[in-house]
Amino acid sequence: MTRGHRRFAVLASIPLAALLLLLVAGPYLAAWQLQTRIEAALGPRATLGGISIGWSGSVELRELRIQAAPGWPAEDELRANRVHIRPDLRSLLGGPWRIASVSVEGGFVSAQRGRDGRLRLLPALLDERAGRAQAPSEDPTPVPAIEIDEISIIDGGLAFFDHSVRRPALQLRIEQLAAKLGPLSLPALDDAVQIELGGVFKGPQRDGRIEIKGLYTPSSHDADLRARFSDVDLLALQPYLLKVAEAGVRRGTLDLVVHATVVGERLRAPGTLTLTNLELASGGPLATFAGVPRQAVLAAMTRDGRLEVRFTLEGRLDDPAFSLNENLATKLASGLAETLGVSVSGVVKGLGGLVKGLFGR
C-alpha cells in the first residue's frame, strides 16, 4: 500500500471510528446528561441511596426521597424504592431533554388540600420549578426543560390530607396504587396530561376501590375526568356529607360515579351517589343526615337497603365564595329530598311543626 493509500485509509476510518464511539459512548453521554438534569430537577431536599447507568443509557435511582418542607402534613413528599428512567436518545440531537418513560416501584406520594380548597402535590418539583420559570430574573440558574412521555407507578401509595373539611386534616389513604400519566412538559405543565389510576381506598371498617381516568392540564386546571368509587367505607368520607351537628354514621358503603369537566376555571360535574346498608348513630328528634330528616333516610333504606342520589356540582373554582364541600352537601341534601319525595320547604315546615309540638304549641 502506498503512502497516499494509507493516508486515505486513515482519513476514511475517522468517520467510522466517530460513529462507533457515538454508538458505544452515546448512551453513557445521554445518561450522564440525564443524571445532571435529574439532580437539578429534584432540588435540595431530595436524597438518593444510589444511581446506576445501564448499557442502553437507562438510569436507575434507588431509595429516592424528597423530604417535606416544614408545615407539610407528612414527613415526605415523595418516596420510592426504585425509579427506572429511560431517556430518548434523540435528545442528543438538540432541543428539550426528552424521557421516554419513568417507572416507579414501591412509591409513596403525599398531597394536601388547603382550607382555601387549593390542591398541592409535590411542591418541591412543581411549585418551586414553576416559580423559578415565571421569575427567571430573580434566579440566574436556568430551569432545565424536560419532556416525559409516560410515568407509570407500580404498587404505590397515596396519602391525601384535606384541611378544608376539618381540623386536624382529614386523612385519606390509597394503597396498591397503579397509575399511568403523561406526557408531562416541565416546568410549563401546559399540555393536557392523560391520567389513568386505580387502587384500594382504605377505610376504618372495610376497603373499597377507586378509579380515575381522563385529561388534566396543570397550568390551566382544565380537566375532563371520570371517577368511580366502589364499595367505599362511608365512615372515611362522612365529613364530606355531613354538617357538624348532624348524626354520624355507624356503618355503610358508598358508590360514586362522577364526570367532572373544568373549562376556564368553571366546574361542571354530574354524578350519582349510592348508599348501601347505611346505619346512622342515634340522634334526637331533629337529627338529620345530609340535610334531610334522619328517620326519612332510614325509612327509605329499609325498603331495599340502597338509596341512590343524582346531583350536579357547578361553579367557578376561582370564585372565593364557591366551596366545593358546601356545594356537594347542598346538592346531596336536595337530591336526597327529591329522591325521598320530600321538598326542601316541606322539610323546613315539618321541622318547625315538630319544634312546636315539643313545646306544646
252 plus 180 within the same structural domain = no
92 plus 174 within the same structural domain = yes
Say if 294 falls within a structural domain: yes
181 plus 64 within the same structural domain = yes
pLDDT at 354: 35
Using one digit for the tens of pLDDT, what is the confidence trace for 199-233?
999 999 999 999 999 999 888 889 999 999 999 99
Say if 14 falls within a structural domain: no
212 plus 343 within the same structural domain = yes
Say if 85 falls within a structural domain: yes
Domain boundary among 138, 160, 191: 191
Chain length of the chain:
361
274 plus 139 within the same structural domain = no
Say if 1 falls within a structural domain: no
pLDDT at 5: 45
The H or E element containing residue 295 is helix 294-304
235 plus 113 within the same structural domain = no
93 plus 207 within the same structural domain = no
135 plus 207 within the same structural domain = no
Say if 258 falls within a structural domain: yes
State the pTM of this model: 0.73
317 plus 240 within the same structural domain = yes
Q: Which domain holds residue 173?
A: 25-191
Say if 18 falls within a structural domain: no
Residues of the chain below pLDDT 50: 5-24, 130, 132-133, 342-361
Say if 163 falls within a structural domain: yes
pLDDT at 341: 56
Q: Tell me the backbone φ, ψ of residue 273, rounded to 5 degrees.
A: -115, 130
123 plus 212 within the same structural domain = no
Whether residue 79 contacts residue 45, with contact meaning beta carbons closer than 8 Å, is answered with no
Domain boundary among 167, 191, 215: 191
233 plus 351 within the same structural domain = yes
Q: Number of structural domains, the chain?
A: 2
Q: Which residues contact 68 (CB under 8 A, 6 or more apart)?
A: 45, 74, 75, 76, 77, 110
Cβ atoms within 10 A of the Cβ of 31, count? 23
Domain boundary among 162, 191, 220: 191
Using one digit for the tens of pLDDT, what is the confidence trace for 232-281?
998 888 887 766 556 677 888 989 899 999 999 898 988 888 888 878 77
pLDDT at 31: 57
Say if 9 falls within a structural domain: no
Cβ atoms within 10 A of the Cβ of 43, count? 14
201 plus 125 within the same structural domain = no
